[in-house]
Amino acid sequence: MTAIGPTSDTVLYVNGVTKVFDGFRALNNLSLVLRPGEMRAIIGPNGAGKTTMMDVITGKTRPDTGQVVFDADTDLTKLDEPAIAQLGIGRKFQKPTVFEHHTVWDNLLLSLAGDRAPGFALFARQTKAERERIEGILRTVRLMEHRNRRGGDLSHGQKQWLEIGMLLAQEPKLLLVDEPVAGMTDHETAQTAELLREINRTRSVVVVEHDMDFVRALGVRVTCLHEGSVLSEGTIDHVSADPKVVEVYLGR
């Protein structure tokens, strides 16, 4: 892959990013380009830098060097998490994180795009538009009948979906999804793949996943990371046939 400058047809442009923790190179001159509307699967062994990459994009971790540009014009390395989230980047954690004491409905209500200031929240009343939006999402993530249950009472898979629903409510342009099918049944995995494809119709998505069957089911371009940089990139068939990938990740 040749290095290109941030251009109008990238939604995410990561160039030469390095991050060192106490001598450990979590990211080593990592470069990655995502086109608008693209879905990308990221694979790689443990410690390859997948989660650190997500941290850098969402502002949780500042890179030592390198550029991270969103939507061709916004430098993400200068911003913090809330600012990046409000720009339109949503993130789903590896471990599903929902508000356990709130109902499914309230989880989505709090996630809806809108004013995030305490002053607004103090006097906010739920509008009809918000209600309709929440119902739409509930249908998308198939949680309509659970809307009055507390987040903490949901099953593992339902929590994963609720979290994806919360990301949708944020109306992001770019979605970062960390291992969405870990711990899911086969049926749930298939449903999740379908859900992500549906989301991808309107948004760019980056999926980090170990489950190769799931990645294959997504049928998108794949990037394999190793020791903090890109080892191989291309179609799933191309990457899984790459001898370097076989060596470090897939095994013979």
Partner 1 sequence: MSRLAATLTIACVLGSALLLIVLNQATPPGSAAHVSTYAVSLAGKYLSYAMLALAVDLVWGFAGILSLGHAAFFALGGYAMGMYLMRQIGTRGVYANPDLPDFMVFLNWHELPWYWWGFNWFPVAVLAALLVPGILALVFGWLAFRSRVTGVYLSIITQALTYALLLAFFRNDMGFGGNNGLTDFKDMLGGISLQSDATRCGLLLATAILLSAAFLLTRAMVLSRYGKVLVAVRDAESRTRFLGYRPERYKLVAWVVSAMIASIGGALYVPQVGIINPGEFAPANSIEAVIWVAIGGRGTLSGAILGAVLVNFGKTLFTGALPELWLFALGGLFIAVTLFLPNGIIGLLPRRKDAAVDEPEQPPVLTTSEAAAREVTS
Partner 2 sequence: MRAVASKAERAVTKRVLARFVAPLLAIAAGGRGRSRSRARAACAVLGLWFVFAQPARAQPTGAELLGSSNFADIQRGVEAVAGSGDPHALPILAAMQEGRLYARGDRSLAAKSSDGSYTDPLTGAAIANPGAVKPVRLNNNVRRALDAALGALRLFSPDPGTRQIAAEAIFKGRDPAALPALNRAIGEEKEPGVNRTMEQARASALLLKNDASDTDKLAAIATLRDRGDIDARAMLATLATGQPPAVTAAVAEAVNAIDLHLRLWSWLQNAYYGLSLGSVLLLAAAGLAITFGVMGVINMAHGELLMIGAYATYLVQNAIRAHAPLLSGASLLIAVPVAFVVAGAVGIAIERLMIRYLYGRPLETLLATFGLSLVLQQGVRSIFGPTNLSVTTPDWMSGAIGLGGLSLTANRLCIILFAIAVFAALQAALRYTSLGLRMRAVTQNRRMASAMGIRTPWIDAMTFGLGSGVAGMAGVALSQIDNVSPNLGQGYIIDSFMVVVFGGVGNLWGTAVGALTLGVLNKFLEPVAGAVLGKIVVLIAIILFIQRRPRGLFPTKGRFVEA
Residues found near partner 2 in the complex (CB under 8 A): 21-22, 24, 26, 52
Q: Quote the least distance from Cβ 202 to partner 2, whole Å.
A: 33
Q: 13, 72 in Cβ contact below 8 A?
A: yes
Minimum distance from residue 6 beta carbon to partner 2 (Å): 27
Residue spans of alpha helices (H) in 94-241: 104-111, 118-123, 128-140, 156-169, 186-200, 212-218, 236-241
Determine if 102 is a binding residue for partner 1 (CB under 8 A): yes
Size of the site for partner 1 (CB under 8 A): 41
CB of 126 to partner 1, least distance (A): 5
Q: At what angle do helices 156-169 and 128-140 cross, to 10 degrees?
A: 140
Q: How far apart are CA 242 and CA 237, in angstroms?
A: 9
Chain positions 178 to 217 lying near partner 1, rule: CB under 8 A, are none
Please report, as residue ranges, which positions from 217 to 246 form the binding site for partner 1 (by CB under 8 A). Answer: none
Report if residue 121 touches partner 1, rule: CB under 8 A: yes
Options 101, 156, 238, 244; binder of partner 1; rule CB under 8 A: 101
CB atoms within 10 A of CB 234: 14
CB of 170 to partner 2, least distance (A): 22
If contact means CB under 5 to 8 A according to the sort of partner, which of partner 1, partner 2, none does residue 240 touch? Answer: none
Applying CB under 8 A, the span of 3-11, 30-38, 99-107, 232-240 interacting with partner 1 comes to 99-107
In DSSP notation, the chain reads -------TT-SEEEEEEEEEETTEEEEEEEEEEE-TT-EEEEE--TTSSHHHHHHHHHTSS--SEEEEEETTTEEGGG--HHHHHHHTEEEE-SS----TTSBHHHHHHHHSSS---HHHHHH----HHHHHHHHHHHHHTT-GGGTTSBGGGS-HHHHHHHHHHHHHHT--SEEEEE-TTTT--HHHHHHHHHHHHHHHTTSEEEEE-S-HHHHHHHT-EEEEEETTEEEEEE-HHHHHH-HHHIIIII--
241 binds, among partner 1, partner 2, none (CB under 5 to 8 A by kind): none
Q: CB-wise, 95 or 142, nearer to partner 2? A: 95
Task: Give the interface segment with partner 1, choosing from 127-135, 182-190, 229-237, 244-252 (CB under 8 A).
Answer: 127-135
**Cβ at position 117, least distance to partner 2 in Å:** 23
Binding segment for partner 1 among 13-21, 67-75, 112-120, 216-224 (CB under 8 A)?
Answer: 112-120
Smallest gap from residue 106 Cβ to partner 1 (A): 6
Interface with partner 1 (CB under 8 A):
58, 60, 81-82, 85-86, 90-91, 93, 97-103, 105-106, 109-111, 116-118, 121-126, 131, 134-135, 139, 144-145, 147-148, 150, 166, 170
